[in-house]
């Protein structure tokens, strides 16, 4: 029992007894779960382009020194949320998340990255992408100051690529389900869109219609219409606000801050947090913290790592300090709005309401184990959803020789093959096997050395596509399991402190120490 006692006390020592309150959604608004005050996002986009990890990923939350430097300056600016677009889930983020939590700042995290995301031109949603998303969720769900995940950012950005939204919505659905499968708190998952005039109405309704499990929990708009000295009416903000008046989910500006006129005066802040917009919008995220080549920075990082405040920082600070949004109390808020009908297929909108299936490693493994001819080891793979040029060319060739219906996806027609989520190599194996069975010769599995004959391990191909994905197992505490006990205690302490009761959390630790000692 002493091992369990030690682990439990370590859990107490590592927990934050001054954790931020959980932010929850009720209707079309965010609320502080403890104070019951409406929560307005006063955010900043945070994606410095400096540090790149071993796999070519920019991860600003893996640089403790930079986070410790920037968090107090963000707090001084009036920031309560930072939006981060890319992280590496294999890194340790504890120090950075603690720095921002201590500064009173929540994290809004995109789970898609340039390496793992849905390609708007040729959308696919496969097992490696789903697993990458789950890895990010697993890495950040433990932090009290995580406010939400964003499942996609401007994937569909004009009328030419709207079918891609079906794949994003499927990923959003699956991540919501995955989060619910864990024994932790509920974490919202939403979508961030651009402001394209041809699709803005359809896309906002698409992510808010249909099965509640596939609806976005919130909707963000990257809006850059207010440039220089403007007004609520002249800028277009009035029109955008009217379009969301009856929206049933929280909506906010996931990016704002036009820089066609510099330095930026941020006169839109008074409208965003004033009576003209607070009845509809829940605040916004200014783009962006550091000065990069696109010239949107609030601060400049010098070669020595110091921070130089730019005029945009000072101007934004002045406007945020004047912003005093008046919200409603959670318990007094009873308005309920209906979700819209899904948009019809038109010349501008072609995303089906039928979504791709949830990717299942088990289904793909079952399929391959039923085959007599598979892609050989000469067919190599690279990291990510796509295979190398050999696999790509072979898939194209084979799809001209046999039916590809079981491995392809069509987001416009809403048709998805039973193995459309499998890896490119597994798909190629499926096609090789189809052709080999058609030829039925001693050399039918040759394919110029890229095919390999194997003995099937299973004979149940009809059931493979129905195998559900493995959502993972949650370890529960049990007799003699010190690690599980400490983990359970840590979750209990985190949940208590995460709801604002630091005294009770501390008391748990004191009682635990007394009991075990």
Q: Residue 423 is part of a domain; what is its CATH number? A: 1.20.58.1040
The answer to whether residues 300 and 393 belong to one domain is no
Residue indicated by tokens 């030829």? 439
Distance between CA 186 and CA 178 in Å, rounded?
A: 11
pLDDT given for residue 54 in this prediction: 55
| Domain end position, chosen among 266, 293, 322 | 322
For 236-278, what is each residue's pLDDT tens digit? 999 999 999 999 999 999 999 999 999 999 999 999 999 999 9
Helix ranges, 343-450 (H): 361-369, 389-399, 424-439
How many C-beta atoms surround the C-beta of residue 35 within 10 A? 12
Q: Any catalytic annotation for residue 255? A: yes
Of the candidates 22, 101, 124, 255, the residue annotated as catalytic is 255
CATH code of the domain in which 77 resides: 3.20.20.80
**Domain-located, residue 346:** no
The answer to whether residues 381 and 510 belong to one domain is no
The answer to whether residues 414 and 460 belong to one domain is yes
The three state secondary structure string of 201-256 is HHHHHHCCCCCHHHCCCCEEEEECCCCCCCCCCCCCHHHHHHHCCCCCCCEEEEEE
Residue indicated by tokens 């369990």? 4
* Residue 32 φ then ψ, to 5°: -75, 120
What is the number of structural domains in the chain? 3
**Domain-located, residue 197:** yes
Residue indicated by tokens 């048709």? 415
**Domain-located, residue 106:** yes
The answer to whether residues 206 and 318 belong to one domain is yes
For 438-486, what is each residue's pLDDT tens digit? 999 888 999 989 999 999 999 999 999 999 998 764 333 333 333 333 3
- DSSP helix/strand/coil, 148: strand
**Domain-located, residue 350:** no
The answer to whether residues 371 and 486 belong to one domain is no
Share of the chain above pLDDT 70, in %: 84
Share of the chain above pLDDT 90, in %: 79
Per-chain mean pLDDT for the chain:
88
The answer to whether residues 140 and 15 belong to one domain is no
Angle at Cα 42 formed by Cα 22 and Cα 252, nearest 5°? 85
The answer to whether residues 8 and 78 belong to one domain is no
The answer to whether residues 43 and 188 belong to one domain is yes
Residue indicated by tokens 């029109």? 239
The answer to whether residues 475 and 421 belong to one domain is no
In 3D, which of 173, 494, 513 has the Cα closest to residue 353? 173
Angle at Cα 238 formed by Cα 236 and Cα 243, nearest 5°? 100
**Domain-located, residue 195:** yes
**Max Cα separation, the chain?**
80
In 3D, which of 346, 486, 339, 326 has the Cα closest to residue 412? 346
- Least confident segment among 47-56, 299-308, 318-327, 389-398: 47-56
> Tokens at residue 132, please?
């990458």
| Cα distances (Å, whole numbers) of residue 286 to 219, 248, 264, 306, 492 | 16, 24, 11, 21, 35
The answer to whether residues 225 and 126 belong to one domain is yes
**Domain-located, residue 292:** yes
| Domain end position, chosen among 269, 299, 322 | 322
Distance between CA 131 and CA 125 in Å, rounded?
A: 11
**Domain-located, residue 339:** no
Average of pLDDT values for 51-72? 85
pLDDT given for residue 55 in this prediction: 59
Asked if pLDDT for residue 410 goes beyond 90, the answer is yes
The answer to whether residues 274 and 224 belong to one domain is yes
Q: Any catalytic annotation for residue 288? A: no
Asked if pLDDT for residue 95 goes beyond 70, the answer is yes
Sequence length of the chain is 517
The answer to whether residues 286 and 382 belong to one domain is no
pTM beyond cutoff 0.85: yes
235, 203 in Cβ contact below 8 A? no
Q: Residue 251 is part of which domain span? A: 36-322
Average of pLDDT values for 184-211? 96
62, 88 in Cβ contact below 8 A? yes
pLDDT given for residue 109 in this prediction: 98
| Domain end position, chosen among 464, 481, 507 | 464
| Cα distances (Å, whole numbers) of residue 331 to 31, 34, 245, 327, 507 | 10, 11, 21, 12, 29
- DSSP helix/strand/coil, 283: strand
Average of pLDDT values for 356-366? 97
pLDDT given for residue 52 in this prediction: 56
Cα atoms found within 13 Å of the Cα of residue 13, Cβ hemisphere only:
7
Of the candidates 22, 154, 319, 385, the residue annotated as catalytic is 154
**Domain-located, residue 484:** yes
């Amino acid at each position: 029992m002493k091992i369990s006692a030690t682990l439990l006390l370590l859990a107490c020592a590592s927990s934050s007894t001054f954790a931020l309150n959980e932010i929850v959604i009720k209707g079309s608004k965010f609320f502080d779960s403890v104070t019951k005050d409406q929560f307005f996002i006063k955010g900043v986009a945070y994606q410095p382009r400096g540090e790149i990890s071993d796999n070519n990923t920019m991860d600003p939350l893996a640089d403790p020194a930079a986070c410790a430097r920037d968090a107090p300056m963000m707090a001084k600016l009036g920031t309560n949320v930072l939006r981060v677009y890319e992280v590496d889930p294999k890194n340790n983020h504890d120090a950075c998340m603690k720095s921002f939590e201590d500064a009173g700042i929540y994290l809004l995290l995109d789970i898609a990255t340039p390496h793992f995301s849905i390609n708007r031109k040729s959308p696919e949603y496969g097992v490696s992408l789903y697993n990458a998303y789950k890895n990010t969720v697993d890495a950040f769900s433990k932090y009290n100051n995580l406010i939400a995940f964003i499942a996609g950012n401007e994937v569909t950005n004009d009328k030419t690529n709207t079918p891609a939204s079906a794949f994003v919505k499927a990923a959003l659905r699956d991540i919501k389900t995955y989060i619910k499968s864990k024994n932790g708190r509920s974490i919202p998952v939403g979508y961030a869109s651009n402001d394209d005039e041809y699709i803005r109405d359809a896309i906002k309704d698409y992510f808010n219609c249909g099965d509640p499990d596939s609806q976005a929990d919130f909707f963000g708009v990257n809006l850059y219409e207010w440039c220089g000295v403007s007004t609520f009416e002249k800028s277009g903000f009035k029109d955008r606000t009217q379009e969301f008046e009856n929206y049933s989910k929280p909506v906010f500006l996931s990016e704002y801050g036009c820089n066609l006129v510099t330095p930026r005066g941020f006169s839109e802040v008074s409208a965003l947090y004033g009576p003209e917009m607070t009845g509809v919008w829940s605040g916004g995220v200014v783009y962006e913290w550091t000065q990069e080549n696109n010239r949107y920075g609030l601060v400049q990082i010098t070669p020595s790592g110091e921070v130089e405040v730019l005029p945009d920082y000072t101007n934004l600070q002045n406007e945020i300090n004047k912003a005093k949004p008046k919200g409603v109390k959670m318990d007094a808020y009873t308005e309920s709005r209906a979700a819209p009908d899904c948009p019809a297929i038109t010349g501008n909108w072609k995303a089906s309401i039928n979504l791709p299936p949830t990717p299942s490693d088990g289904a793909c493994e079952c399929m391959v184990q039923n085959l007599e001819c598979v892609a050989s080891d000469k067919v190599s793979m690279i990291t990510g959803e796509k295979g190398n040029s050999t696999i790509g060319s072979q898939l194209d060739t084979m799809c001209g020789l046999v039916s590809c219906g079981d491995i392809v996806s069509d987001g416009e027609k809403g048709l998805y093959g039973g193995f459309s989520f499998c890896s490119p190599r597994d798909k190629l194996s499926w096609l090789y096997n189809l052709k080999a069975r058609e030829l039925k010769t001693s050399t039918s599995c040759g394919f110029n050395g890229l095919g390999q004959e194997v003995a099937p391990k299973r004979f149940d191909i009809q059931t493979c596509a129905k195998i559900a994905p493995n959502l993972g197992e949650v370890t529960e505490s049990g007799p003699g399991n010190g690690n599980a006990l400490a983990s359970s205690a840590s979750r209990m302490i985190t949940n208590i402190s995460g709801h604002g009761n630091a005294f009770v959390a501390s008391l748990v630790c004191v009682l635990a120490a007394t009991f075990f000692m």
